[in-house]
Structure 1
Amino acid sequence: MTKSKAKRVVVTGIGAVTPFGVGIPVFWDGLVNGQSAIKETEEPELSQWSPVSAELKDLDPLQYLSKKQVRNTDRITQLSLIAAQEAMEDSGVNLEGEDLRRMGITVGTGYGGVQTLGEGTVQLVNNPKKRVSPRLLSKSIPNAAASALAMQYGFQGPAMTYTTACAASANSIGEAMYMLQRGEVDLMLAGGAESLFSPVILAGLRSAGAIAMDGPEDKSAWSRPFDTNRKGMVAGEGAAFLVLETYEKAVARGATLYGELAGYGTSNDAYHETAPHPNGDGAVIAMERALDTAGLQAHNIDYVNAHATATPAGDTAESKSLQRVFGDDLAAIPVNSIKGAIGHLLGTAGAIESISCLLSMKSGILPPTLNCDQPDSDAPPNLVRERSKKQEVTSVLTNSFGFGGQNGSLIWRKV
């Protein structure tokens, strides 16, 4: 029996809320111009655990959502609804007359609605006999964002949530690709959301040694991917979503195509609760699987968007894995990390970095790896540093690696 050829999957819409603000234009402008959205943490109860952060300041959700939506949702769901609205409008898809049973949602998040959980905990500590909000559960549960998006658009297909740490939205996008390729759905709204500005979560990340607790006098430069003097990640927040469709359906309706999702690979290190495998074994498996599903060889990749969170163990393991996968070809492949600009958005990372890759393919501009003044000895040799680089790219690999040994790699191709 001949194996049928998998359907091609393309992106027709993108939307984001990042530490730079609401919308793709402000995000991309900040990246390519080498700006940093990282600042000193203002709230005393948070700053002791995370002295600097990439928070989204001055966002009034009521400018984008109804009072009822804001009242009944946690911040990550609000961010999701705002980012998804931009992506859906950008796609130009008309839902009238469409079979909503064949449209679905995948969301990646590391923790879910931690701010709601934190508020409920404080209420109980202060008054153990007082009832918490009846909305606490529905607001904090990790699948709240997917549920809210399904209700917003009436999608009755799969509404799946992936809680695979920092690989969550890479997994959500890759798994959405599989659903489209199998012909189960016609359209997927895929992405991720995260907002970890809760004392208990930041305290946990601090105890795990993940958070940068000191750095240069210029606090906007504390996130230092691949730099010899990196001290750890800087926590950020945001949401990013992509509209995925089959190539045939997108072309038939005259949609704008940002790029093709050509490959996806996922794996687990099976090594440690928080630390990556020191030689990048799991990362290698994920990248090789992504190359295999894309039908590409390592030398066909002309740009890598690295996970590179600015943790010494994580950056080194990724560097070693890139060397193992690409060998001598790595010297000619530009590599960057955008976390120097926006910090680490955890469950959103794979989605927002995928959008960055798509915009690089479209514009021929590779954003810089900020604050990498002295690359360490293991760092990729062709790092994009200091300023954006003009270079046409056609096949791009982006990595997302997380606690629990979770790995996700995506390959985007120009169409």
Structure 2
Amino acid sequence: MTETAVVTGLGLVTAAGIGVPASWEAICAGRGTATLGNSPGSPGSPGSPGSPGPEAGSGQAPGHLTCRVPGFDADSLLGAREAHRLDRFSQFALVAAAEALADAGLDTDSWDGTRVGVVLGTAFGGVNAYTVAQQALDGRGAHAVSPLLLPLYLPNMVAGQTAIAHRATGPCLVVSTACASGASAIGVARDMLLAGRCDIVITGGSDAALTPAVLSGFARLGALSGPGDGDPATASRPFDTARDGFVAAEGAGVLILERESHARARGARVQARLAGYGASADAHHPVAPHPDGTGLESAVRGALADAGLAAGDVDHVSAHATSTPLGDAVEAAVLARLLPHRPLVTSVKGVIGHALGAAGAIEAVCSVLSVTRGTVPPTANLTAADPECDLDIARTVVRRKVDAVLTTSVGFGGQNAALVVTAP
């Protein structure tokens, strides 16, 4: 029998809640989470749980909408000693990984760590720690920079710290493809399993980059939704005629992937198959998608071919759709062209915002949940669909059998990734 990669565990940390149950319930309820201004517990808020320290300043530039993880107390979730050694993006990943491993029923104290890999994605790494260090350097000199700066800041530390926490001594790496990082990491993890290099891979993505500089950079590009005059929770509105940009978010999504033979041999509960992966580059523009969507189309075609599926086999699409005018329109045109049978399409970013390098991983977790629970979540805040986005977009939660989900991810640099999740 040809070996396949299966999903046996899931973990989430999102603006909708900490853990899969809280996040999924809010996503299915279509409750937007965007807020305006700094909020308690946000990275850099003096004295906030899991913050890099009081030197971090305001935590965000004034006037920017964000979707932040509520009530994240790293000290209680990870232990104060451990939390102090981790930037917020690593904290999220470790919490999500612990949930996913428990969900998979894996005992990390007794497993063969040499056959366990870690492949995680991030776009920004420990930008909170870097912000703190730069402020300390500017204000008080080099002696004020923490000796923990590099272990906190380096992007590879999210994988390294996860491996340390669970004694995973197999291949350990970080994938960074901007906002496609989480999906790209999952695809690389799948390839690693199918090549026989591991039996288990902890994979997904994490980002916590809601700092003044990052938000201001996105704003200067014209990518962010403005504060507007209405309810901030409705600002992220994928595919809507009134969309004006994305709402930046933070969070993590982690999946436990296993070779199917390994999972079956240990009697694991197989939740879904990761059946296909496709990737491509637009080779067009640093921050704008190819106007014809040729790169994304190539990634989708590759994922479907890898899964051995025809376009008509897709029941549901978990779209990248960030709520930007150009990005949503280009993606919608690709999906309409490739999937003329009009499967139900959702963007969970209406609820949780755009979690940057974690987005694709969070959406992969949601794709598995759609299969296991027979549920298509709604696209929140969609009041008037853009005629240019000619898709069958789920406006309310839909309960139905879902055998195959396509999920798409796009990132700056022309990065494209697509995953196909199917019923086991």
Matched, 1:20 2:16: yes
Q: CA RMSD in A?
A: 1.5
Cα distance in structure 1, aligned partners of 2:230 and 2:107 = 50
Q: Which residue of 2 aligns with 1:329?
A: 341
Give the deviation of 1:130 after TM superposition. Answer: 3.3
Cα distance in structure 1, aligned partners of 2:408 and 2:402 = 17
Kept in 2, the 8 Å contact 1:76–1:113? The answer is: yes
Identify unmatched segments of 5+ residues in structure 2: 40-56
Change (3 A) 1:51 1:96: closer
Per-residue CA deviation, residues 22-70 of structure 1 (Å, 9 max, x unaligned), is: 1100001101112122222226945645522101132111111122211
Cα distance in structure 2, aligned partners of 1:95 and 1:78 = 19
Cα distance in structure 1, aligned partners of 2:272 and 2:243 = 33
Cα distance in structure 2, aligned partners of 1:380 and 1:49 = 36
- 1:339-350 correspondence runs (5 A): 339-350=349-360
Change (3 A) 1:287 1:58: same
Give the deviation of 1:284 after TM superposition. Answer: 0.2
Q: Which residue of 2 aligns with 1:11?
A: 7
Cα distance in structure 2, aligned partners of 1:50 and 1:89 = 39
Give the match's secondary structure for 1:240: strand
Q: Which amino acid aligns with 1:329?
A: H
- 1:4-403 correspondence runs (5 A): 6-42=2-38, 45=58, 48=61, 51-215=64-228, 217-326=230-339, 328-330=340-342, 333-385=343-395, 387-403=396-412
Give the match's secondary structure for 2:251: strand
Q: Which amino acid aligns with 1:264?
A: Y
Q: TM-score, normalised by structure 1?
A: 0.95
Cα distance in structure 2, aligned partners of 1:45 and 1:277 = 36
The number of aligned residues is: 407
Give the deviation of 1:215 after TM superposition. Answer: 3.5
Give the match's secondary structure for 1:191: strand
Kept in 1, the 8 Å contact 2:61–2:215? The answer is: no
Q: Which amino acid aligns with 1:379?
A: C
Q: Which amino acid aligns with 1:270?
A: A
Identify unmatched segments of 5+ residues in structure 1: none
Cα distance in structure 2, aligned partners of 1:112 and 1:359 = 27
Per-residue CA deviation, residues 133-182 of structure 1 (Å, 9 max, x unaligned), is: 11111100001110100100111111110110111010110111011111
Cα distance in structure 2, aligned partners of 1:116 and 1:207 = 23
Give the deviation of 1:298 after TM superposition. Answer: 0.7
Pick one of 404, 415, 421 that aligns with 1:406. 415
Q: Which amino acid aligns with 1:29?
A: E
Per-residue CA deviation, residues 294-316 of structure 1 (Å, 9 max, x unaligned), is: 01111111111110000111101
Give the match's secondary structure for 1:130: helix
Higher mean alpha-carbon deviation, 187-196 vs 54-63, is at 54-63
Give the deviation of 1:6 after TM superposition. Answer: 4.5
Give the match's secondary structure for 1:409: strand
Cα distance in structure 2, aligned partners of 1:50 and 1:107 = 31
Q: Which amino acid aligns with 1:30?
A: A
Give the deviation of 1:129 after TM superposition. Answer: 4.6
Per-residue CA deviation, residues 245-271 of structure 1 (Å, 9 max, x unaligned), is: 011111121111110000000001001
Higher mean alpha-carbon deviation, 61-70 vs 182-191, is at 61-70
Cα distance in structure 2, aligned partners of 1:380 and 1:354 = 23
Per-residue CA deviation, residues 344-378 of structure 1 (Å, 9 max, x unaligned), is: 00111111111111111111111100111111122
Per-residue CA deviation, residues 278-331 of structure 1 (Å, 9 max, x unaligned), is: 1111100100000111011111111111100001111011011112222x323x
Kept in 1, the 8 Å contact 2:5–2:258? The answer is: yes
Q: Which amino acid aligns with 2:378?
A: P
Q: Which amino acid aligns with 2:418?
A: S
Q: Which amino acid aligns with 2:27?
A: L
Q: Which amino acid aligns with 1:104?
A: G
Kept in 1, the 8 Å contact 2:60–2:211? The answer is: no
Q: TM-score, normalised by structure 2?
A: 0.93
Change (3 A) 1:285 1:50: farther
Cα distance in structure 1, aligned partners of 2:63 and 2:398 = 32
Per-residue CA deviation, residues 210-260 of structure 1 (Å, 9 max, x unaligned), is: 111133511100001001110100011111100000111111211111100
Kept in 2, the 8 Å contact 1:76–1:112? The answer is: yes
Give the deviation of 1:381 after TM superposition. Answer: 2.5
Give the deviation of 1:389 after TM superposition. Answer: 1.1
Higher mean alpha-carbon deviation, 234-243 vs 127-136, is at 127-136
Higher mean alpha-carbon deviation, 40-49 vs 254-263, is at 40-49
Give the match's secondary structure for 1:64: helix
Give me the identity figure in percent.
38
Give the match's secondary structure for 1:359: helix
Kept in 2, the 8 Å contact 1:50–1:206? The answer is: no
Q: Which amino acid aligns with 1:36?
A: G
Give the match's secondary structure for 1:321: helix
Kept in 2, the 8 Å contact 1:214–1:231? The answer is: no
Q: Which amino acid aligns with 1:401?
A: V
Deviation beyond 4 Å, 4+ runs, structure 1: 43-50
